[in-house]
Amino acid sequence: MVTGFAVLGAISSSYSFTKDIVAFFKRVHDAKTAIPNIMLRFENDALLLEHLAMSIDETMLEHLDIESLSHLQRVVSHILPITQDVSVRLNRYKTNNFWDRSKWAVVGKDLKSSEEDINDWIKRLQTCFVLFPTKAKNDIVSALGRNSNNSTLIEAVTAQQRMESRISKFREIGYQQMKDLDPSLQLSTELSATIELSSQARMSTISGRQLLVEFKKLTPASVHSETATKEMEEEVVKLVSVLSAVRPTDMFLLRTKYFFATNPKLKQPSVPFGILYEFPPKYSPPSRLIDIVRQTGPNGSRILKHSLDQRFELVRQISTAILFIHSIGWFHKGIRSSNIFLAHSKEATDLGRKYPEYLGASFLAGFDYSRSEAARSTGDEAEGGWKRALYQHPERNITAESEDPVPEYIAEHDIYSLGVTMVEIGRWKPLESYPQLFQDASPAKHKEVLEEMAEGLRVTLGRRYVELALRCLRILDADSRPLLGSPAIRSIVLDLEELASSTK
């Protein structure tokens, strides 16, 4: 049985072990030499765990639903054995003589790997906090302090709070007030007139800065509807304001910089608005995932120089981005490889972590059809031919000849799209390269073929990856539908976190 007491005990014990590790470093460290970076990293981990132990109490945890508490326990249960193992191993050494350079080269590498695992799971606590009740999140932030040295976790939680707050404001006020919230987010007419239309997201230079531009599209039936255009403008203002609060490197989403009305001279009423995103500083120029999986060697073979854990981590990051989107009451409606961008940080590049051996960090974009839960559902995300439609759940792919209404878009439709993307990442080959399987097939056949493709990945990707992909693809099957009130993406994120960590 999951209990708040067990969670608190795991956090407290992890802090105690991490504190012992830091004490060991201080005992053996030669004051004449530079402080090892690994010692500073463990000190930061210890500080964060200490603050968590102080800020989370049993009463707070008792008010969490069972899934939130279970999620939290599973995360801290990964941290505890790692800290315990490192502490026990280090305590075997009692003299300073051990700490010579020759042995440090071996031990230091091992410790660095362990610390990275610890830090990785500590950072993932933020995915637990995202779905905590507002009061619990406020209590945690208050206890840790907004000026805490643990900026990664604090800023992630507070950024998500800002996003929630902006959503709340939009629900309370009318359209006219919306435009006054942050006028700096609207690009000037002079600058927007220089932006050329594009059928897909692309990089553009605005005032000397490289920004990603994408356009919000109306369905053909809505092109000449003033009501539809007005509704879209309201959604664009909401979206840009909300996404201007994200932390890209923690949420794997791009921060919006501006929105703009497209130039009337272009005579393209189907794309009345555009959005500009900025990439984090000190990151390499981005590449779309679809373009990367399209790449082949001189002999036409796929370029597969990265390890499987790189692919598992990529899927984990994408699912985390979806978690943040769903947590603020928004649907993406366009999750696919052409809307996922990969880039490498300068720090990773300096360490030699470059493509094709390393895939880098992912950022989910492509919000051209996204909407909030309260907005009208249109079915527009499935337009654009079979290459786009195969990422959509069959019940959203209602044909023009059908008399059936398009079901309301729900969070599970995004999860289905994640499953399709997982199949593509697993095969490391664009799904569009299989026209014989998809082009003339029905939506139901798309799903059947994708499930068969997923099953075929067991030998190369393993049972756990395949089962997660199938869980996403079957998320709305009669025997797989999630319980009401239970955010399905949360358990998928956690299982992907465990998969990504177990293969490092």
Query: What pLDDT, on the 0 to 100 scale, is given for residue 160?
Result: 62
Distance, in Å, from the CA atom of 480 to the CA atom of 483, rounded to the nearest integer, reads: 9
Average pLDDT over the chain, rounded to an integer: 79
Q: Which two tokens stand for residue 231?
A: 């509704």
Query: What pLDDT, on the 0 to 100 scale, is given for residue 311?
Result: 95
- Long-range residue pairs from 183-190, CB within 8 A, at least 24 positions apart, any chain: 185/240, 185/241, 185/244, 185/256, 185/257, 185/258, 185/259, 186/258, 186/259, 186/260, 187/258, 187/259, 187/260, 187/276, 189/260, 189/261
Question: Can you tell me whether residue 287 is helix, strand or coil?
Answer: strand
Across the strands, what pairs with 296? 302
Q: pLDDT, tens digit, for every residue of 94-114? A: 555 555 444 555 566 667 777
Percentage above 70 pLDDT, the chain: 75
List Cβ neighbours of 270 (8 Å cut-off, separation of 6 or more): 217, 218, 220, 223
pLDDT above 60 for 317: yes
The predicted model gives 270-297 an average pLDDT of 90
pLDDT above 60 for 123: yes
Query: What pLDDT, on the 0 to 100 scale, is given for residue 399?
Result: 54
Cα dist from 480 to 49, 121, 305, 472, whole Å: 37, 29, 36, 10
Asked if 409 contacts 377 with a C-beta cutoff of 8 angstroms, the reply is: yes
pLDDT above 50 for 223: yes
Distance, in Å, from the CA atom of 153 to the CA atom of 151, rounded to the nearest integer, reads: 6
Domain limits, the chain: 4-172, 173-281, 283-504
SS3 content of the chain, % helix, strand, coil (to 5): 55, 10, 35
Distance, in Å, from the CA atom of 470 to the CA atom of 187, rounded to the nearest integer, reads: 42
Cα dist from 416 to 63, 87, 369, whole Å: 31, 42, 16
pLDDT above 60 for 161: yes
Percentage above 90 pLDDT, the chain: 26
283-504: CATH class: mainly alpha
The Cβ of residue 481 has, within 10 Å, a number of other Cβ atoms equal to: 12
DSSP output for 82-130: HHHHHHHHHTT--SGGG--HHHHHHHHHHHHHHHHHHHHHHHTHHHHHH
Highest mean pLDDT among 261-270, 354-363, 459-468: 459-468
Residue whose token pair is 């049993």 = 58
More confident: 175 or 169: 169
Q: Which CATH architecture has domain 173-281?
A: 2-Layer Sandwich (3.30)
Cα dist from 273 to 145, 169, 364, 453, whole Å: 39, 22, 19, 37
Distance, in Å, from the CA atom of 126 to the CA atom of 386, rounded to the nearest integer, reads: 37
Distance, in Å, from the CA atom of 108 to the CA atom of 102, rounded to the nearest integer, reads: 10
- pTM comes to 0.77
Asked if 338 contacts 385 with a C-beta cutoff of 8 angstroms, the reply is: no
Confidence of residue 420 (pLDDT cuts 50, 70, 90): very high
Confidence of residue 163 (pLDDT cuts 50, 70, 90): low
Q: Strand runs (DSSP E) across 279-382, as ranges?
A: 287-288, 330-331, 340-343, 361-364, 371-372
Query: What pLDDT, on the 0 to 100 scale, is given for residue 463?
Result: 94
Question: Can you tell me whether residue 33 is helix, strand or coil?
Answer: coil
Distance, in Å, from the CA atom of 396 to the CA atom of 390, rounded to the nearest integer, reads: 10
Query: What pLDDT, on the 0 to 100 scale, is given for residue 222?
Result: 77
Residue whose token pair is 């362990």 = 114
Q: pLDDT, tens digit, for every residue of 45-102? A: 887 787 777 767 777 777 777 777 777 787 788 888 888 888 887 776 655 555 544 4
Given this chain, do its domains 173-281 and 283-504 carry the same CATH topology?
Answer: no
Confidence of residue 21 (pLDDT cuts 50, 70, 90): confident
Distance, in Å, from the CA atom of 259 to the CA atom of 188, rounded to the nearest integer, reads: 9
